[in-house]
Amino acid sequence: MKKVYTDEEICRVLQDLTSPESIRLHDRTDNWFSRYNGFLHDPHNTAKYVRGLRNTLKLEADENLLGKTVLDVGSGFGMACVVMHLLGAERVEGIDTFVPMVETTQSYSSARPELRDINFQKGLSYDLPFADGTFDIILNFEALSHFVNQEQSVAEATRVLKKGGKYVIADDNNGANARIVRENREIWERFENGPPGEIHGHDAKLPYVESREQILREAFPELSDGDAKDLALNTAYMRKQDVIDAGERFLREGVKPASRFQADRCPVEPHAGQMMENLIDPRELDKTLMALGCKCETVAYFGGDGVGGIVKLGNRMLNALVPKELLIQQSAGFKIHATRVA
Ligand SMILES: C[S@@+](CC[C@H](N)C(=O)[O-])C[C@H]1O[C@@H](n2cnc3c(N)ncnc32)[C@H](O)[C@@H]1O
**51 phi and psi, to 5 degrees?**
-60, -40
Does a structural domain hold residue 114? yes
Q: How many CB atoms lie within 10 A of CB 72?
A: 25
**How large a percentage of the chain has pLDDT more than 90?**
90
The answer to whether residues 226 and 312 belong to one domain is no
Which DSSP symbol is given to 93?
E
pLDDT (0 to 100) of residue 314: 75
The answer to whether residues 36 and 163 belong to one domain is yes
Q: Which domain holds residue 47?
A: 7-176+277-340
Q: How far is CA 286 from CA 67, 151, 180, 275, 298, in A?
A: 28, 12, 19, 21, 8
Q: Cα–Cα distance between 304 and 144 in angstroms, integer?
A: 17
The answer to whether residues 77 and 137 belong to one domain is yes
The answer to whether residues 227 and 242 belong to one domain is yes
The answer to whether residues 227 and 255 belong to one domain is yes
Distance 230 CA to ligand 1 centre (A): 31
pLDDT (0 to 100) of residue 308: 55
Distance 136 CA to ligand 1 centre (A): 20
Q: Which helix (H) or strand (E) holds 94?
A: strand 91-96
- Of ligand 1's listed atoms, the one at least distance from the Cα of 79 is 9
pLDDT (0 to 100) of residue 302: 81
How do beta strands 135-141 and 69-73 pair?
Answer: parallel
Residue 320 has pLDDT above 60, yes or no: yes
The answer to whether residues 315 and 301 belong to one domain is yes
Does a structural domain hold residue 87? yes
CA 226 to centroid of chain Cα atoms = 37
The answer to whether residues 89 and 129 belong to one domain is yes
Domain boundary among 250, 275, 300: 275
Does a structural domain hold residue 163? yes
- DSSP assignment of 255-276 equals PPP-B---TTS--EETTTTEES
The per-residue pLDDT for range 212-242, each reduced to its tens digit, is 999 999 999 999 999 999 999 999 999 999 9
The per-residue pLDDT for range 267-315, each reduced to its tens digit, is 999 999 999 999 999 999 999 999 999 999 999 988 765 545 566 777 7
Domain boundary among 249, 275, 301: 275
pLDDT (0 to 100) of residue 310: 64
Residue 134 has pLDDT above 90, yes or no: yes
Provide the CATH number for the domain around residue 329. Answer: 3.40.50.150
The per-residue pLDDT for range 44-99, each reduced to its tens digit, is 999 999 999 999 999 999 999 999 999 999 999 999 999 999 999 999 999 999 99
Burial (Cβ within 10 Å: 0-12, 13-18, ≥19) of residue 31? exposed
Q: Which helix (H) or strand (E) holds 178?
A: helix 178-193
Instruction: Please say whether the dihedral angle defined by the alpha carbons of residues 78, 38, 271 and 188, taken in this order, is positive or negative.
Output: positive
The answer to whether residues 70 and 97 belong to one domain is yes
Angle between helices 7-17 and 43-57 in degrees, nearest 10: 120
Angle in degrees, CA 298, 303, 304, rounded to 5: 80
pLDDT (0 to 100) of residue 323: 78
For residue 334, give the 3-state DSSP assignment.
Answer: strand
76 pocket-lining for ligand 1 (C-beta < 6 Å): yes
* pTM: predicted TM-score of the whole model, two decimal places: 0.94
- Of ligand 1's listed atoms, the one at least distance from the Cα of 36 is 9
How do beta strands 333-340 and 161-171 pair?
Answer: antiparallel
- Of ligand 1's listed atoms, the one at least distance from the Cα of 148 is 19
Does a structural domain hold residue 1? no
315 pocket-lining for ligand 1 (C-beta < 6 Å): no
Residue 209 has pLDDT above 70, yes or no: yes
pLDDT (0 to 100) of residue 202: 95
The answer to whether residues 46 and 80 belong to one domain is yes
The answer to whether residues 204 and 253 belong to one domain is yes
pLDDT (0 to 100) of residue 152: 98
167 pocket-lining for ligand 1 (C-beta < 6 Å): no
124 pocket-lining for ligand 1 (C-beta < 6 Å): yes
Does a structural domain hold residue 2? no
Long-range contacts of 325-331 (CB under 8 A, 24+ apart): 325/283, 327/300, 328/174, 328/176, 328/177, 328/282, 328/283, 328/298, 328/300, 329/176, 329/177, 329/178, 330/177, 330/300, 330/302, 331/174, 331/177, 331/300, 331/301, 331/302
Tally the domains of the chain.
2
Q: Is the peptide bond before 323 cis (omega within 30 degrees of 0)?
A: no
74 pocket-lining for ligand 1 (C-beta < 6 Å): yes
Average pLDDT in the chain: 95
Distance 43 CA to ligand 1 centre (A): 25
Domain boundary among 257, 275, 293: 275
Does a structural domain hold residue 107? yes
pLDDT (0 to 100) of residue 304: 61
**How large a percentage of the chain has pLDDT more than 70?**
97
The per-residue pLDDT for range 187-202, each reduced to its tens digit, is 999 999 999 999 999 9
Which DSSP symbol is given to 337?
E
Distance 251 CA to ligand 1 centre (A): 35
The answer to whether residues 310 and 204 belong to one domain is no
The answer to whether residues 59 and 123 belong to one domain is yes
